[in-house]
Amino acid sequence: MRRRGLLKAALPLGATATALGAWPATAAATATATATGNAPSGAPVRRGRDRIDVHCHLIPDFYRRDLAAHGITDIGGVPVPTWSPDLAVNFMNRYGIQTQVVSVSEPGVTYLSSAADRVAMAQRLNTYTSRDLVHTTSARLKGRFGGFAVLPLGDTVDEQDVSHAVTEVRRAVRELKMDGVGIFSSYGGKYLGDPVFAPLMKALDDLGAMVFIHPSTPQTYPDLGLPPFLYEFTFDTTRALVNMLYKGVYRRYPRIRWLAAHAGGTLPYISYRTSLLTLTPAIAQQVGAAGLDDSSPSFRRLFYDTALSPAPQAMKSVRELAGTEHVLFATDWPFTSALFLAAGDPAPQLDETFSPAERLAVERSNALAQFPALAARIGAEQV
C-alpha cells in the first residue's frame, strides 16, 4: 500500500479533534514508515534536494508569544505548531526540498486592534523574514528560504489600513527584496475584489508582484464540529477568486501573478459553473466547441499549489483548467507535520496525474520561472 492509503487507515487512531496537531506517535509512525520504506512510489529518482516548496509557514518565537498573549493557540482548528529555521531545514532535508517560500498564515496581524500595532508587527515579521531567512548570511540557512511579505491589514479594513499595506508592500518588495506578497482571501468579511482594496491592487500591479492568496476562516459558517481548515478554507479561497473575476480585478491589474493556495480551493472543479455570467461559456455553447476549455481565461492564468491537494481528484482538475505549467509544489508545513513522519517522497500521489518530467516541472522549474530572484539566489537555471 502507498503511504496515502496507510495514512487513511491510521487517521481514526488519531482522533479527529487533534486536527493534524498530534497523532498517536506509535501508530502513525509505524504506518508511515511502512508506506515509505519499501513500497515503490513510481516517482522519478531524485538526487539531493531539488524541490521548491511555495506554500509553507513561519512562526517566529516573538510572533508565537504575541499570538498566545492575545489568546490565540490554534489556527484554522489546528494547534499552533512548533517552528524554527533549524526545524524547517531538517524537514526540507528529509523530503528533498531545496527551498521553502515562507509566509505568515492566518491570522496574520488581524488580531491586533491598533493600526500602529499591526504596522509594527508586519514590519517586524517582514524584516525578520528578509534578514534572517531570505537574505541570511548563515551558511546553514543560505539559499533555503524565500519569502512572501505579510500585510498590516486588520479585520476592519479601511482606507488607512490599505494605505499602510501599500507602504509595506513597496518596502517589502523594493527594500527587503522579498519574493512576493501574501494576502488573505478575506478580512473581516471583505473579500479580495472589494473596492476598498483598489489602491493595494494598483501597487501590486505596478510591482508585477507574485501574490499568494491564503484562506482565512470566514466570519460566519455552519458549525459542524470540525476544524475549519478541512473545508471552510477551500470555500473562502474560492469566494475570493470568483469575486475578483466579477469585480474586474484580473482585467484591471494584469501584471499581478496570483498563486492560489490548496489547488485554488474548489475553484478548478467549479470553474465552468462560476464562469457562467461571463461570455466564455456562452460562446463555447453557441459554436458547439466540444472539448473547449470554456471556463474563464482569468482562471486559467492563475497559479495553483499542491498543498493538501496532491491527489488526482484535485490535481487532474487543476491540470485541465490551467495546465501543468501553472501548478507549483507545496507542503503547508509545519501545519501538516502529522502527514510527514518519515523521510521520502512528500507527495507520491502526484504520480497519478503527472509524468516524471511533469513532476519535475511542478516541483521545481515552474517555481524557478515565477521566482527569478530566488532562482538567482540559489544559482539555479530558470526553465
Q: Specify the range with the lowest mean pLDDT, choosing from 3-17, 127-141, 338-352.
A: 3-17
pLDDT tens column, 132-160: 999 999 999 999 999 999 999 999 999 99
pLDDT in tens, 283-329: 665 555 555 556 788 999 999 999 999 999 999 999 999 999 999 99
Q: How confident is the model at residue 221 (pLDDT cuts 50, 70, 90)?
A: confident
Q: Which residues contact 127 (CB under 8 A, 6 or more apart)?
A: 176
- CA separation for the pair 186, 228 (Å, rounded): 14
Render pLDDT for 47-74 as a digit per residue (tens, 0 to 9).
Answer: 568 999 999 999 999 999 999 999 999 9
Cis amide bond preceding 107, omega within 30: yes
Chain position carrying cell 512548533: 82
Are 190 and 153 a contacting pair, CB within 8 Å? no
Percentages of the chain per state (helix, strand, coil), in multiples of 5: 50, 10, 40
Task: Render pLDDT for 154-212 as a digit per residue (tens, 0 to 9).
Answer: 999 999 999 999 999 999 999 999 999 999 999 999 999 999 999 999 999 999 999 99
Cα(30)–Cα(245) distance, integer angstroms: 46
Measured from the Cβ of residue 298, the count of other Cβ atoms closer than 10 Å reads: 20
Question: Parallel, antiparallel, or unpaired: how do β-strands 180-184 and 210-214 relate?
Answer: parallel
> Cis bond leading into 334, ω under 30°?
yes
CB 211 within 8 A of CB 202: no
- At residue 33 the predicted structure's pLDDT band, cuts being 50, 70 and 90, is very low
Query: pLDDT for 13-31, tens place per residue?
Result: 333 333 343 333 333 333 3
Q: For residue 380, count CB atoms less than 10 angstroms from its CB and return exposed for 0-12, middle for 13-18, buried for 19 or more.
A: buried
pLDDT number for residue 281:
63
How many whole angstroms separate alpha carbon 54 and alpha carbon 56?
A: 6
Contact at 8 Å (CB) between 274 and 226?
no
**pLDDT (0 to 100) of residue 353:** 98
The whole-chain average pLDDT of the chain stands at 87
Strands 186-187 and 180-184, sheet pairing? unpaired
